[in-house]
Amino acid sequence: MKLALLFSGGKDSLYAGYLAKKYGHQISCLISILSENKESYMFHTPSIEKTKIQAQAMQIPIIIQKTKGKKELELKDLEEAIRLAVKKYKIEGVITGAIQSVYQSSRIQKICNKLKIECFNPLWQKDEIEHLNDLIKNKFNVIITGVFAYPLDKNWLGRKIDKKFIKNISELNKKYKINTAGERREYETFVLNSPLFKKGLKVKSFKDTKEGENSWRREIELK
Amino acid sequence: MILIISTCKEKLHELEFVKPIEQVLKTKKISFFTKHYSKLKKGDFANASKIIICGTSLQDNQFIKDINCFRWIPEINKPILGICAGMQIISLVYELERQVKELDIKNNLNHALKTQTEIGYYFEFFNRDFLSLEGEHEVYHLHNNYISIPKDFVSFTKSRIPQAIKHKQKEIYGVLFHPEVRNKKLIEELIHM
């Protein structure tokens, strides 16, 4: 089946796309939503402009749809992007990286249902630690590009998701209820390499910015 | 041993509709085996103590075309839980039980299947205990269709369309919502029955 991957550049959407391919589907295009609202309910924004570079690394065409990021109105922009993917790439369905968020997944389900196309959520309800371990097992090179919850701080920026990361984030889960997969937007990620990439990416330089009391973001330059 | 039955036309959908059910059983250290409905053999029912028929995606109605693959349901004297598509299957099969001619079956299928799209969280009111749910509970819906309550079943919810049903005599249950998302206790209640 020809599918479009709703793509943020982070670990969940990319792993969902990896599973779709593993199960015999074709990722015909990526869809990234570039939100002007950094607090968007639907779309995660860190490094999303870098998704173009990731798309090149995967040799998959990408549709980038801009949105003001206003609640519900941004859904119209998403629908427009999916309609374009249907028309241009003849997709029959969409893949999302939703794990727990009913807010996100139900809205995407409604759009797909309206357009009478399939909606695949292969990470739905997945155990978060199993998911992190699967990323390592399948050679995903994932770094942290944003932290937004205490006690996560600047020191977590740039960290790779590895066994030590899983151990440390699990400890924070027990002590502070930090979701280990960052499902409540405690942290955000960027994928530098995965089995879907023809060529891996490297960080050339970066700049860390404090955005709030417990909020840090890392802007990266890629090579 | 619990038999989990997949109704997904696309294998990828099993990660969304079957694996979460398997996860509930794994967490409770309950042994299970999973099969697609088209691959079921008679021996599978003998090996199973209880049966769970899972849901599938909004666009997938293949199970309705293949409804004859489920004609075993009334003959199996074991607890069964049908989730979303699974509930529709149970209802359809019991409706078909009353039909003799093929023509009647086709007409009846079209007549029985009704449209009502519900996606996301909804509150449902259970007017008596239904596998641990009683009173008002938030549930996750993902369906375009429903089936009227079959003759031998009763409804457990105060709702416009049937959301939770049980056979009057047998331990056969159906829920239109997805308990694997918000109401895992319901699945646990069935497996510990």
| Confidence at residue B100, expressed as pLDDT on a 0 to 100 scale | 56
Query: In Å, how far is B59's CA from the nearest CA of chain A?
Result: 6
Q: Residue B98: pLDDT above 90? A: no
| Confidence at residue A96, expressed as pLDDT on a 0 to 100 scale | 97
Residues 6+ apart with CB under 8 A from B116: B143, B144, B145, B146, B160, B161
Residue A160 within a domain = no
Strand B50-53 to B2-6 pairing: parallel
Q: What is the 3-state secondary structure (H, E, C) of chain A?
A: CEEEEECCCCHHHHHHHHHHHHCCCEEEEEEEEEECCCCCCCCCCCCHHHHHHHHHHHCCCEEEEEECCCCCHHHHHHHHHHHHHHHHHCCCEEECCCCCCHHHHHHHHHHHHHHCCEEECCCCCCCHHHHHHHHHHCCCEEEEEEECCCCCCHHHCCCECCHHHHHHHHHHHHHHCCCCCCCCCCEEEEEEECCCCCCCCCEEEEEEEEEECCEEEEEEEEC
Which of B16, B23, B121 faces A127 most closely, judged by CB atoms?
A: B23
What are the backbone dihedrals phi and psi of residue B172, each rounded to the nearest 5 degrees, phi first? Answer: -115, 120
Query: In Å, how far is B118's CA from the nearest CA of chain A?
Result: 9
% residues pLDDT > 70 (chain B): 93
> A118, A128, A134: best mutation site toward chain B, by most B Cβ within 10 Å?
A118
Question: Closest-CA residue in chain A for B20?
Answer: A125
| Confidence at residue A45, expressed as pLDDT on a 0 to 100 scale | 56
Which of A113, A118, A125 faces B23 most closely, judged by CB atoms?
A: A125
- Regarding the domain with residue range B2-191, which homologous superfamily does it belong to in the CATH classification? Class I glutamine amidotransferase (GATase) domain (3.40.50.880)
Residues 6+ apart with CB under 8 A from A164: none
Residue B54: name the closest of B175, B164, B146 by CA: B175
Which of A113, A120, A126 faces B13 most closely, judged by CB atoms?
A: A120
Q: Residue B108: pLDDT above 70? A: no
Which of A113, A119, A124 faces B20 most closely, judged by CB atoms?
A: A124
Residue A199 within a domain = no
> B62, B115, B119, B180: best mutation site toward chain A, by most A Cβ within 10 Å?
B119
Mean pLDDT, range B175-184, rounded to an integer: 96
The model carries a pTM of 0.93
Question: Closest-CA residue in chain A for B118?
Answer: A110
Please tell me the distance from the alpha carbon of residue B129 to that of residue B126, in angstroms, as a whole number: 7
| Confidence at residue B128, expressed as pLDDT on a 0 to 100 scale | 94
Cα angle: A163, vertex A167, A171; to 5 degrees: 165
Q: Residue B37: pLDDT above 60? A: yes
Residues 6+ apart with CB under 8 A from A97: A6, A8, A10, A11, A12, A13, A14, A15, A16, A123
- The verdict on whether omega for the bond into residue A151 sits within 30 degrees of 0, i.e. cis, is yes
Bridge partner residues of B50 (DSSP) = B2
Bridge partner residues of A189 (DSSP) = A144
Residues in chain B with CB shorter than 8 Å from the CB of A121 are 15-16
Q: Residue B96: pLDDT above 90? A: no
Q: How confident is the model at residue B118 (pLDDT cuts 50, 70, 90)?
A: very high
% residues pLDDT > 90 (chain B): 82
Distance of CA A207 to the CA centre of its chain: 21
Residue B14 is encoded by which pair of tokens? 């099993």
What CATH number does the domain containing A6 carry? 3.40.50.620
Query: In Å, how far is A113's CA from the nearest CA of chain B?
Result: 7
Q: How confident is the model at residue B134 (pLDDT cuts 50, 70, 90)?
A: very high
Task: Report which of residues B149 and B54 the model is more confident about.
Answer: B54
Residue A156 is encoded by which pair of tokens? 């977590």
Residues in chain A with CB shorter than 8 Å from the CB of B144 are 113
* Tally of structural domains, chain A: 1
Q: Among A43-52, A184-193, B54-63, B161-170, name the one with the lowest average pLDDT.
A: A43-52
Residues in chain A with CB shorter than 8 Å from the CB of B19 are 125-126
Residues in chain B with CB shorter than 8 Å from the CB of A97 are none
Please give the helix or strand (H or E) that residue B189 lies within, else none. helix B184-191
Q: Among A118-127, A132-141, B57-66, B91-100, name the one with the lowest average pLDDT.
A: B91-100
Residue A182 within a domain = no
Please tell me the distance from the alpha carbon of residue A62 to that of residue B62, in angstroms, as a whole number: 32
Please tell me the distance from the alpha carbon of residue A42 to that of residue A70, in angstroms, as a whole number: 10
Please tell me the distance from the alpha carbon of residue A162 to that of residue A164, in angstroms, as a whole number: 5
Please give the helix or strand (H or E) that residue B39 lies within, else none. none
Q: Residue B113: pLDDT above 90? A: no
- On whether any CB of chain A is under 8 Å from the CB of B13, the answer is yes
Q: Which residues of chain A have pLDDT under 50?
A: none
- On whether any CB of chain A is under 8 Å from the CB of B57, the answer is yes
Which of B12, B60, B120 faces A106 most closely, judged by CB atoms?
A: B120
Bridge partner residues of B81 (DSSP) = B52, B173
CB contact (8 A) between residue A119 and residue B58: yes
Domain that holds residue A25: 2-120
| Confidence at residue B99, expressed as pLDDT on a 0 to 100 scale | 63
What is the tens place of the pLDDT at every residue in A12-29? Answer: 999 999 999 999 999 999
